[in-house]
Structure 1
Amino acid sequence: MNVVFFNEYIQTSPRFMTDFTPWTLFVDTGIISVLLLLGKLMRVKIRFIQKLFIPPSLLAGFMGLALGPHGFGLIPLSTQTGTYAGILIAFIFGALPLTSQKAAKGDGANIGSMWAYSQAGMLLQWAFGGLLGLLVLNQIWPLNPAFGITMPSGYCGGHGTAAAIGQAFSQFGYDEILTLAMTAATFGIVAAVIIGLVIIKWGTKKGHTSFLPNYDDLPHELQTGLLPGDKRESMGESSCSSISIDPLTFNLIIVAVIALGGYCISKAVSHFMPGFELPVFSCAFVVGI
């Protein structure tokens, strides 16, 4: 109830009310870009952050949360920033098939075992989270029955999955699920980075790693994320002449069309099957294939 009240307050308070226009998107993009640059600067300069391998995007997110409308209100982010994740993840999943390569001969067994391992872990997380929310947590606190689903959406999923789950439940009046799922996704990233690094350090000391013999011997460019001039590589090849259309714009158009196709499929399914919704990013992945 407190989460619902807080969301209603944020949406109705004059301090945070904003008519969303293209200029609002422009300002949000600029502020997010500044936060990302600050996060990158922190990764380059602060040794503690380098040791934990905290990505600049995570640092930018924490700064945005602390300084934005849900924190101290020092930066004028709009109340629509939570929607961007669900849109951008559709672009990511739509572009994945375009960069995938065919498996080499003999890799089928390794791919199959890895797929089975990941699917088993994902299904167990969804089952455990759902049952924990329904049978245990819901009996202790008056929580939403769907609360357990927000946990695996942030662990085996991520912010994109959390956005899809939150948007699906918001159609049934459960607006707080989006906030809970995003919180789980953020905590999942932090836990994965910190606990994962502890496991990696332990593995290198025990000699269980092949790519990295000693964690302390990591190259400086991997710690800071900045490549020296002699190690920089080309990002790609131009597929069309810039005299007709900019190559980067052309590639963005392809991905945008794929993402739009995923959105149309998701909405078509919801139209013909009320109460059933396919996440846009999943549909975009299918269109991309």
Structure 2
Amino acid sequence: MRSATTKPADVDTPKASQNALQIPEILESIVIWSLHLHYVYDDRCRRVNQLRRVAKVWQSTIDHNPTLRCFAFRDPLNTSSSSTSASPSQKTTLTTPSPPPRFSLAIFCRPYCTALEYELAAVTEIAYSHSKPIGQSEFQKVLHSITMTHSPIIKGFRMKRKVPRCLASNIFVTGPTVESIYLRFSGSADFDWLEALRKFAKPTDYVFNLFTNFEYDYHVESEEGVRGTDLVDAVGKAVGSFYELSGKGEGKDASFSIQKIEVWIGNPVLLKERPQSIPGWQIRTLWESKPWKS
């Protein structure tokens, strides 16, 4: 008799807890409480993106909660939790409107940027010299490993290198989101290559050189906000074009060498000017040359 009475309880208890986690209001309260209690700010981003993959109801709950969207760097509207959760009566009593989200100070999604830096660190040099591309195949392999995260081969490659898996590439690289960023490529090149670069540059790009040393600001723009895919695609497109400029056209056999790749973010309203002329920019180094290891 005792076993007969305890058996249904053993079966019903996990079902009850599972059912509770299917209720969005309960689930989001538990997740927010857990993130605040057990995780620092950077780890919250990684953890909440992992929880999105548990089930569809978890993904939907996280994507519809403003606090969790901000933790996950998935808030394209730049909305704050206070303005979203306020009741209509509370909103009518406000006398001083808050500034538009676009004027908020954006910060990098550090977990994603750190993982991306770790991946790109496998490339030792990006250069073209004596009619020979240096680091091109190495760079393409790393980009492939970043973008093809679901491939079994790439997963094995990552495990062997003990690479920290990048966060989902469809998250935004900043919070609040920014519509524009600049990738700054610093290096040296001969004058033929620099002339070809000026012809390649978009009107919103900037090329500055002092003799053979140069800085090239490559403009990346997205109306919804710059995501990880936009950032990686821009790095790949720009570097791929550098090799092409050396291998054909007026810049054929022209040499270049990249020493550093940085990402610049700032107030999107001011992004129509050259970054170095504006105070308050945030800079993150994505890659630096390591020729001594080649």
TM tier relative to shorter chain = under 0.3
Normalized per residue, the structure richer in helix is 1
Q: Look at both structures and tell me which one has the larger radius of gyration over its CA atoms.
A: 2
Normalising by structure 2, we get a TM-score of 0.20
